């Protein structure tokens, strides 16, 4: 899958993002709010740690019995009147959805935000089939007007400031918004999309959960766009990853408490909706057909390797909101469907390590992502596993390999290592001005963006020896 | 081989053999739900109605409490007047609502795309989160809860459940409706710079009318 992967190499994209001050402003405004609201939500939920441990256990249980739950879900979904389709990869998923739309002579398709839809390249597939697609989530509507991909899994238009959104709506809305504050712009989008909701032939949604014992799919939104997408059209299509299963509605609720607090800092999304089959006989409204496309696309492969823990991910986005790298470069620089720490683990699965080798390196290993993950995914460990695999497969560049080999030779010879450290520390002092090193030969990549503290003069081992000697003398 | 078989085979290839029995899996799943009180938030107030009201108010939902259903039309007239709305209402076609004295209010069951006000019944309320539960059905159109700008929901106090799991337990074993919706506050978005705006696509105003328990007519 490479439709979302922009062609420029990661470092070029990251450089461009770092130079974009408006982007930094936009990212700071939303991630700052998200971080503060999550912290407040957790302080009001002292049971969070216990809930997180159980959420992790529920996901592990489902993954360990995934074959059982897939079959149970399929059985119950079919009993509810839904049609269940299976797609081994993105191409199969695109073909299934496009075929359903074309067989229904669909001209207009509304879509409620689904990261899986992005992952399988649904927007492009619908366009290629000549079907008009209307994104109904406000952020997806913004990036559809901008012709962009999402830059965050919860706030896809996070990279856009309100001023930029105003520019898009001024030309994209008829009539344009009455004013350019967020409230007026939201009102304008409400007016603009209303006829599309009611005129669509097919509504496509994702699923936050697939409930095995009822065959229902569950969506969570705050805008109400999912229900307006899934109710009026004649056909409702759900695309969902096979890892979204839960045993029952009660298990979904246990995970929902974690998901919402971790994603937006709320306690419940405004609309938590279970969709079970098509409209029943006599129902006042609802679609006549419901199709569920279960998508593997690399997930069964993860089940068998060291990335299995990543299947626990409930797509809350907390890891990226708290990531020092994401907050500097934003989502687009990652180049895949999923950005931030979880994206740096998933993109090599989806696009291959050859295309995504840089992503697991774009990490400081500060561990913040693992601390905030509501299902305890050891993200730094998984990123390290990709680095190790990249090394084993010989994908690391020659300079890196040579540098690390040299370091390894030194590190396994303590005397030599200490000597080199002593020389290095004293050498570095020569480049310092007033406590900081602003420029260093061969290290422009580091010093271009930040200063290095000037070493104090002696290595740790030297100071430790001196301290030991003083302690010995004082006894 | 079908995609289904390929996926299930690939999944099984990544899992240990022999596979657990369905009974063992079900027992493990049940155990994951034990002692839920240790892993969910406590209620905001000792009583279910007070907890529900506190949670709902925090989300911007307005709540009024009435002694009985007969007082509903007068309360609705007051709400419409307070908000400067004309006396017209999309009314859920439920028998318990149809029998009330709605004089002075024009009522219709079809919901317009830009419906100003709609009124419907909630099937359950959840005290933990201030949520309303609505099930789709012959007299419960889903669009009634999403197209209007003002959504008025009638909830009988004796339909309040403490926690989300209690709703799951009450409905377990029943045939699920096409849609079961938990509504928790008015529609909102934070998609522009994270700033919260109400009335994104769904109702910008959510007004709950709680009906005291003893006044509920026998079904």
Domain boundaries along the sequence of chain A: 10-300, 412-474
Name which of B93, B141, B193 is nearest A26 (Cβ-Cβ). Answer: B193
> Does domain A10-300 bear CATH number 3.40.50.300?
no
pLDDT at B219 > cutoff 60: no
Q: Tell me the angle at which helices A182-199 and A138-146 cross, rounded to the nearest 10 degrees.
A: 90
Name which of A223, A242, A249 is nearest B202 (Cβ-Cβ). Answer: A223
Interchain CB distance below 8 Å, B202 and A227: yes
- Give residue A452's pLDDT: 85
pLDDT at A3 > cutoff 90: no
The reply to whether B136 falls in a domain is yes
Supply the range of the domain harboring residue B62.
44-215
d(CA A305, CA B144): 48
Helix intervals (H) in A115-239 = 115-119, 122-128, 138-146, 162-172, 182-199, 225-230
**Mean pLDDT in residue range A369-375:** 98
Confidence label for A429 from pLDDT (cuts 50, 70 and 90): confident
pLDDT tens digit string along A76-100?
999 999 999 999 999 999 999 999 9
- Give residue A425's pLDDT: 87
**Mean pLDDT in residue range B85-106:** 97
The reply to whether B90 falls in a domain is yes
- Strand pairing class (A108-111; A202-205): parallel
pLDDT at A1 > cutoff 60: no
Residues of A in contact with B180 (CB under 8 A): 216, 273-274, 276
- Give residue A7's pLDDT: 58
Residues of A in contact with B130 (CB under 8 A): 268
d(CA A236, CA A278): 8
- Give residue A333's pLDDT: 97
The reply to whether B151 falls in a domain is yes
pLDDT at B80 > cutoff 70: yes
Confidence label for A432 from pLDDT (cuts 50, 70 and 90): confident
Of A102-111, A395-404, B140-149, least confident by mean pLDDT is A395-404
| Closest approach of A31 to chain B, Cα-based (Å) | 8
Confidence label for A2 from pLDDT (cuts 50, 70 and 90): very low
| Closest approach of B213 to chain A, Cα-based (Å) | 26
Q: Which residues, numbered 102 to 161 in chain A, qualify as contacts with chain B under a Cβ-Cβ cut-off of 8 Å?
A: 136-139, 142, 155-158, 160-161
Q: Which residues, numbered 190 to 209 in chain A, qualify as contacts with chain B under a Cβ-Cβ cut-off of 8 Å?
A: 190, 193-195, 197-198
- Strand pairing class (B179-183; A271-275): antiparallel
Interchain CB distance below 8 Å, A271 and B199: no
The reply to whether B36 falls in a domain is no
Widest pairwise Cα distance in chain B = 70
Task: Of B57, B109, B115, B61, give the one whose Cα is nearest residue B85.
Answer: B115
pLDDT at B217 > cutoff 60: no
pLDDT at A458 > cutoff 90: no
Residues of A in contact with B8 (CB under 8 A): 67, 70-71
Interchain CB distance below 8 Å, B194 and A30: yes
- Give residue A473's pLDDT: 80
Q: Measured in whole angstroms, how far is the alpha carbon of residue B81 from the centre of its chain?
A: 25
The reply to whether B5 falls in a domain is no
Task: Name the domain count of chain B.
Answer: 1
Q: CB A288: neighbour CB atoms within 10 A?
A: 11
Q: Does A311 touch chain B (CB under 8 A)?
A: no
d(CA B109, CA B144): 9
Q: CA–CA distance from A132 to each of A107, A365, A394 (Å)?
A: 6, 43, 45
The reply to whether B3 falls in a domain is no
Interchain CB distance below 8 Å, B202 and A271: yes
**Residue A10: enclosing H or E segment and its boundaries?**
helix A10-18
The reply to whether B24 falls in a domain is no
CB A222 within 8 A of CB B188: yes
Q: Measured in whole angstroms, how far is the alpha carbon of residue A473 from the centre of its chain?
A: 57
Q: CA–CA distance from A407 to each of A20, A154, A410, B35, B171 (Å)?
A: 35, 41, 5, 53, 63
- Give residue A475's pLDDT: 59
ipTM: 0.97
Residues of A in contact with B183 (CB under 8 A): 270-271
pLDDT tens digit string along A311-359?
999 999 999 999 999 999 999 999 999 999 999 999 999 999 999 999 9
């Amino acid at each position: 899958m490479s439709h979302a992967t922009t062609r420029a190499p990661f470092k070029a994209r990251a450089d461009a993002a770092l130079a974009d001050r408006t982007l930094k402003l936009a990212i700071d405004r939303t991630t700052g709010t998200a971080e503060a609201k999550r912290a407040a939500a957790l302080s009001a939920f002292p049971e969070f740690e216990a809930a997180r441990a159980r959420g992790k256990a529920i996901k592990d249980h489902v993954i360990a019995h995934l074959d059982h739950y897939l079959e149970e879900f399929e059985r119950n979904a079919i009993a509810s009147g839904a049609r269940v389709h299976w797609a081994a990869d993105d191409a199969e998923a695109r073909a299934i959805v496009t075929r359903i739309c074309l067989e229904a002579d669909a001209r207009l398709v509304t879509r409620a935000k689904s990261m899986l839809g992005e992952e399988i390249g649904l927007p492009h597939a619908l366009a290629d089939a000549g079907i008009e697609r209307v994104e109904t989530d406000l952020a997806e509507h913004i990036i559809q007007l901008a012709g962009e991909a999402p830059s965050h899994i919860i706030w896809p238009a996070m990279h856009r400031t309100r001023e930029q959104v105003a520019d898009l709506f001024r030309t994209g809305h008829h009539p344009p918004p009455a004013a350019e504050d967020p409230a007026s712009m939201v009102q304008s989008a409400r007016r603009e999309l209303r006829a599309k909701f009611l005129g669509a032939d097919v509504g496509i949604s994702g699923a936050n959960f697939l409930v095995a014992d009822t065959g229902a799919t569950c969506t969570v939104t705050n805008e109400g766009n999912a229900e307006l997408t899934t109710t009026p059209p004649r056909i409702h299509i759900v695309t969902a990853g096979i890892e979204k299963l839960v045993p029952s509605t009660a298990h979904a609720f246990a995970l929902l408490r974690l998901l919402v607090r971790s994603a937006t800092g709320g306690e419940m999304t405004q609309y938590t909706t279970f969709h079970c089959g098509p409209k029943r006989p006599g129902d006042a409204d609802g679609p006549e057909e419901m199709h569920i496309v279960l998508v593997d696309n690399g997930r069964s492969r993860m089940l068998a390797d060291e990335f299995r823990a990543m299947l626990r991910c409930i797509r809350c986005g907390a890891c990226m909101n708290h990531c020092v790298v994401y907050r500097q470069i934003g989502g687009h620089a990652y180049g895949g469907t999923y950005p931030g720490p979880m994206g740096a683990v998933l993109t090599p699965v989806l696009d291959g390590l050859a295309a995504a080798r840089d992503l697991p390196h774009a990490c400081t290993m500060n561990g913040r992502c693992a601390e905030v993950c509501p299902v305890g995914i050891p993200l730094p460990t998984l990123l390290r596993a990709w680095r190790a695999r990249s090394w084993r497969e010989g994908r690391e560049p020659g300079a890196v390999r040579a540098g690390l080999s040299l370091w390894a030779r030194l590190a396994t010879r303590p005397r030599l290592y200490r000597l080199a450290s002593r020389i290095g520390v004293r050498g570095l002092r020569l480049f310092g001005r007033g406590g900081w090193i602003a420029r260093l030969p061969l290290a422009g990549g580091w010093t271009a963006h930040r200063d290095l503290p000037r070493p104090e003069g002696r290595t740790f081992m030297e100071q430790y020896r001196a301290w030991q000697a003083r302690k010995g003398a004082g006894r | 081989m079908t995609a289904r078989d390929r996926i299930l085979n690939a999944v099984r290839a990544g899992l240990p053999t022999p596979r657990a029995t369905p009974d063992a899996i079900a027992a493990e799943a049940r155990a994951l739900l034990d002692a839920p009180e240790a892993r969910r938030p406590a209620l905001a107030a000792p009583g279910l109605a007070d907890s529900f009201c506190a949670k709902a108010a925090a989300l911007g939902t307005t709540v009024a409490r009435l002694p009985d259903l007969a007082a509903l039309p007068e309360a609705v007239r007051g709400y419409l007047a307070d908000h400067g709305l004309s006396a017209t209402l999309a009314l859920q076609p439920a028998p318990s609502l149809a029998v009330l004295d709605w004089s002075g209010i024009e009522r219709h069951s079809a919901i317009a795309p830009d419906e100003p006000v709609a009124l419907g019944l909630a099937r359950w309320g959840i005290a933990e989160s201030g949520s309303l539960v609505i099930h789709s059905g012959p007299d419960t159109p889903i669009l009634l809860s999403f197209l209007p700008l003002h959504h008025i929901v009638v909830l009988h106090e004796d339909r309040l459940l403490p926690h989300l799991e209690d709703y799951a337990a009450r409905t377990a074993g029943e045939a699920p409706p096409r849609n079961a919706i938990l509504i928790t506050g008015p529609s909102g978005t934070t998609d522009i710079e994270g700033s919260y705006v109400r009335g994104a696509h769904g109702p910008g105003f959510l007004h709950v009318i709680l009906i005291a328990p003893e006044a509920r007519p026998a079904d």
